[in-house]
Structure 1
Amino acid sequence: MSTAAGSAPSAPQLGDWGDLAFFSQDWPAIKAQLDAEPRAILPPNSVRFAALKLTPLNNTRVVILGQDPYPTPGHANGLAFSVAPDVRPLPRSLSNIYKELQEDIGAHPATGDLQNWARQGVLLLNTALSVPSGEANGHKDLGWEKLVQQVLARTSQRPTAYVFWGKQAQRLEKHLHPGDHLILRTAHPSPLSAHRGFFGSGVFSKINSWLAARGSQPIDWTI
């Protein structure tokens, strides 16, 4: 994203997310740290806020929280768990998500690119929006969590489905406003934890059942 040092991303680029306090109060300091970082930072600047750009607030029906971007160059594309369409093999967490999708609804997307989910109103947001190349969780204390807290508070002003995979995501649930939400908590899809409650959780069909019961179009998880 091309912004001058110390300035916030412009509202037109972030649509109805642009007025979050994060962008005036926290983003300038984070950007300064990113600009001073000697290591390669992932994902590229141009897609760092892809989750917010592809899923405007008014379109958000489902929020899936990830951890931080993939630290492997060429993988992260700004959406939690998603990768560029040519990435093979898939990262192990995404591979497990697809295994659960296959078990739950009988199909999964042909590639690891989840942009079509985002365009249907699934906000795929990481708890950190940057990572040093090769160092998972390297920016977990950079200040990104303020953005996530504000996004959860804003989206929960109306009924929304939330997916909290793993303890790092689940501890942020406290920032939701009470409401007629669907809140799904399971183990993280990582190979280290997927067998402790992620597999067999049926989150995708549960979300679609909840949306349908509210008269909302179900998510096509297969594209």
Structure 2
Amino acid sequence: MDEMQQALFDAPPPPKLPVYVPEEFPFFHGAQSMSETGFIASDWVSTLSTVDKNLRELAIELAARSTQGEVILPEPKVMFRALTLPLAKVKVLIIGQDPYPTPGHANGLAFAANKNVRPLPRSLNNIYTELHTDLGITPAPHPDLSAWQDQGVLLLNQVLTVAAGHAAAHQKIGWSPVLEAILTAINDRATPPVSILWGNHAQKHSALLSNTPQIRTAHPSPLSASRGFFGSKPFSETNRLLSLQGQEPINWSLPLS
């Protein structure tokens, strides 16, 4: 056996990629089951029950793609993480596009990533830069935004899944009715939250959020941040609008460790 053959023999096997069946996606079983198993807050059930058929079809489609070798992100158990925040407690809505397509990054919250991800996603880095300019808050060294969610910030992507390495790959597979149901429920609240709509993709949903105070600026991505995102002061403006509603402002600072 020559050295090349020995090297091939000693090489570790490639990592085993997850292959899903429809039942492994919590939403395959419907909104009521998602609530009972802790994947969404209970007051989202009436909203998502109206799209149970769509959710089931999405689970079947994602499973088929997985069987064909597509790596689906994020993992199923966190796809609806944003809706673990109860509808009744939503004070601010921030709409993203779709999850990060890099394995290990997406965690179910728009613009956020798993805490150990480095370097920071570029859009989030720009968000932190504007946060510092706006409120003087020291940027966190990590991309974990769960402290915002804990205070009532709904970090919602328009599309809740993506193919690894292919941004926007799932924009046309059937998530639109689910998003529309969620936004309609938010808009119909007695005290609608403040909506932060960064970029054209988010702003195309402004009509569904007609009852909410809206902040509309350029997207924080490196391609557009300098064309109206930087200097827009969305965080202080959000807190001003919350105060006008008689609500407590958001503490936008994040743990530094």
TM-score by length of 1: 0.93
Query: Using a 3 Å threshold, how does the CA distance of structure 1 residues 110 and 6 change in structure 2: closer, same or farther?
Result: closer
Shift of 1:3: 4.9
Aligned to 2:63: 35
State the secondary structure of the residue aligned to 2:223: coil
Do 2:51 and 2:177's aligned partners in 1 also have CA atoms closer than 8 Å? no
State the identity as a percent.
Answer: 43
Do 1:43 and 1:77's aligned partners in 2 also have CA atoms closer than 8 Å? yes
1:65 to 95, 106, 131: 95
- CA-to-aligned-CA distance 1:159-197 (integer Å, 9 cap, x gap): 220011111111111212x43x32011111110011110
- CA-to-aligned-CA distance 1:100-142 (integer Å, 9 cap, x gap): 0010011133421011111111100001000000000000011
Do 1:5 and 1:32's aligned partners in 2 also have CA atoms closer than 8 Å? no
| Pair 1:24 & 2:52 matched | yes
1:86 to 116, 121, 124: 116
Unaligned runs of 5+ in 2: 1-22
2:134 to 101, 104, 115: 104
Letter aligned with residue 72 of structure 1 = T
| Pair 1:132 & 2:192 matched | no
Query: Using a 3 Å threshold, how does the CA distance of structure 1 residues 143 and 109 change in structure 2: closer, same or farther?
Result: same
Aligned to 2:17: none
Root-mean-square deviation (Å): 1.7
TM-score by length of 2: 0.81
1:118 to 132, 146, 149: 149
Aligned to 2:125: 95
Unaligned runs of 5+ in 1: none
1:7 to 29, 34, 38: 29
Letter aligned with residue 100 of structure 1 = E
Q: How does 1:196-207 map to 2 (within 5 A)?
A: 196-207=227-238
Structure possessing the higher radius of gyration over alpha carbons: 2
Shift of 1:143: 1.2
Q: Which has the higher contact order (CA 8 A, sep 6+)?
A: 1
